[in-house]
Structure 1
Amino acid sequence: MEIDSALFTSPMITAFKEHLETHFFQLKNEPVLLAVSGGLDSIVLAYLFSETQWNFEIGHCNFSLRGKESDADAVFVEELAAKLNVKFHLQKFDTNAFAKAKKVSTQMAARELRYNWFEEVCKENQLNYVVTAHHAKDDLETFLINISRGSGIEGLSGMESQGDFVLRPLLPFSREEIAKYAQENNIKWREDSSNNSDKYLRNHLRHHAIPALEEAAPQFLAQFKKSQQHLQESANLLEDYTALLFSKIVTQSFKGYDLNITQLKATPNTKAVLYQLLKDFDFTAWDDIYELLDAQPGKYVISKNYRLIKDREVLILTENTKEEDAVYRFASTQHELHLPDLKLEKESVQDFKRPNTNEAYFDLNQLEFPLIIRKWKEGDAFFPFGMKGKKKLSKFFKDLKYSTIQKEAVWLLCSKNDIIWVIGERTDDRYKINSTTPNLVKFTAEYD
């Protein structure tokens, strides 16, 4: 069933169309997924998109948090999609179970579930963006929430109207404008009963803090928008400055990036610069990070996906991998083995040639298969080739002046409980060969 556009009249339609033409013109023909909850904002957005004849489909998440009410929301949105003659996508989640398993709040769980599913739907249906109904007061609420969390300038400069994956075309409009449009055109929507509760910080701000601010300063929302524009301009300037500093302070290194501590300390506002360089890597323990500048080598701070390690005169930023417990087996019948960052090949040879550091020769009869390939751990020791006696790997690495990252990258080749090769560095003297060794086997290591 097509909608008669003559039924829908409001100054907001004109303003919305002008906004799309000015800020989203290049995306007008891009197929998108509208995130529609059934509430006022997203329902109005769906009608506005229908008015503009944008190519869109509707996606609805049933989070199973309000029983029959949640199910009724899904039916309502599906009926709207049929009325607007657009394709409908529905996903039902057990949000509470997911939140419990992930040990996160219900709101965080719902957000992760929602956007992961949106991305799947877009990929499967060749849709280029998700469009949400965030408006000006949503932006204000987020601003106040971020203030309460001690956010930096990026958390205060506002939601992006165009991100890599999400579009927010209602950001310039107030909820009052959206509600007026719905009332003038007799548009129905669903009320979420959970929005009446002050359990969540966002709701408490919406019900109490923001009305008080608007009562004290009637033009508060309009002035807030101007302030955010100034903050965004300052954020852009800061990004440009950080980009200039990056080339002076940061260099790419083995499995990561090195931040030069001397350069950092010589730069004014060191802490702010360090924050700008690292803010996109999920770190939260900023006081601990600042203390790394004067900490002992080996100290580190971790985030969900990254580590920052103090190593002499640099801070090393690397991915937070967990390979230390990984154990691989090399069977006697195998000719090669692929590990993270390493390919190990085995071949029988007739003649011995002086090996380079990535090659090692052994007497096949002396080896006990399967051989074990693993990372080093504290207490490991071997008998370095050409030396007398045992040496701990920690001391061996110290002599080589290995950084923490370099030590963690090393793989060991073991026969039974013996380390026979610190791969890429030294074999064990007990397993050395001579001119009369009958069954030579050669190992070649290739690091990625």
Structure 2
Amino acid sequence: MSNKMSILVAHPNTITSNTTLNGLHRLQSSHPRRRSSCGSMSPWLVAKLRDELDRLPSTDNKSHTVETGLLALLGRLPGPGDHAWTDAVEYCRALIESPRETARHACSAASCSCTLRALTAGFAPDMPDVAVLGTEKIAAGLRGRPLDDIPGGHDPGLDGLAGAYSLVLSRRMPARQAVQATYLGLPSTIDEYAGCASGEEEARIRLIALALGAAFNLGGEAVCVLLDGAFFDEPGTGDEMSVEAALRWRAVSGAASMLDASVYGRASWDEGLTAPVVSMAVRDLLDWRRDVAVGRAENAVSAVCGMGFADPFHVTLEAMLRAALRYPLAGACSIAGMAVLSLSLTGSGYRRGGRGERCAECERLLREVTTGARRAWAPEEPPTSYEGGEAARALAKRVVDGSLSYSPMMQMGLGWMQYLVATGRIRSFDARLSMRI
């Protein structure tokens, strides 16, 4: 399979080297809680933001970040003054009161990150339609064979998400700073976390403030990454319809630009694109059966199926491994982080009795990724239930707390993927499996 993952664009802005955790605390502790103009915000929103600010405890790093975001939303914290920052504040204000699809009108697509623009240029506009065709094709074959053996997803909580995603960035950034970067993706899925119904506004406000505070703390291109959440369903601007293009589409539609270490000045531009692409490909492989079961077409395997490949699951798996092999350490972190998230934090779809079709080439590729990342080949069976993932969730919490490096969790997630590929049991996640039972 030819390699088409390289995309040449201008380097993005980088954060300054003195953006340290202690510096952020000093900056936040000096925030003046003064009155200032709240722009065109509704009285309801102003009152809600002030209420949240007044009762916010200042006990941990996350609270400090939420405080920063609330002050920015209220107009009490001057930002860099550029167009992207103005867009980010207005978008976050609108997002509190409106669904994401409506709030996106508060900002311009020109403010999104270089990563999103580069990835969007790497696939054709009709890629989502091809994915719909693929999902319909598989669903038709499964008619009368409900996938009722797939457990429902569990909400892992924000700490669990941050723990898994920060694993991807921790090799390049201090762990706590990496956790901040993972908060940038919250606006893209805010409607899934909390709606505007009575009793849920507070959670919505805190999550949005957390994202905006993180963007302020990280600076530079991080503000643009936050705005990617408004445009993650943008159609492609290229003309490529290939397996690699499907992976790039999912990196955009999955709002994975926050995982690009290059936007924080921590990786080369080409290497930085590895994590968004590989992470979302792993997610799609491990969630394909669940996505098909609920009729969701946002999945790279569905797109590959819609292109007419006879074995879309295997083709996607091999393409993901080849993409990871370009930069093995980045690839291994991405594989491990998403494996932990999919197999232990949100509920596993893994079936111990699933039929295995082992692929020697895929095992070889994963072994090369493992060796290139200087990790051990130590296959370990993943949990078969949410309860079985307790150890991984405990590790994720310690990563978020900063009391543990990412290495043990990385080895755990990588070992799970090694087991699934080496035994062929990764086919447990192949939606076509139910067609053969």
Report the TM-score, using the length of structure 1 for normalisation: 0.23
> Which protein, 1 or 2, shows the higher relative CO under an 8 Å CA cutoff with sep ≥ 6?
2
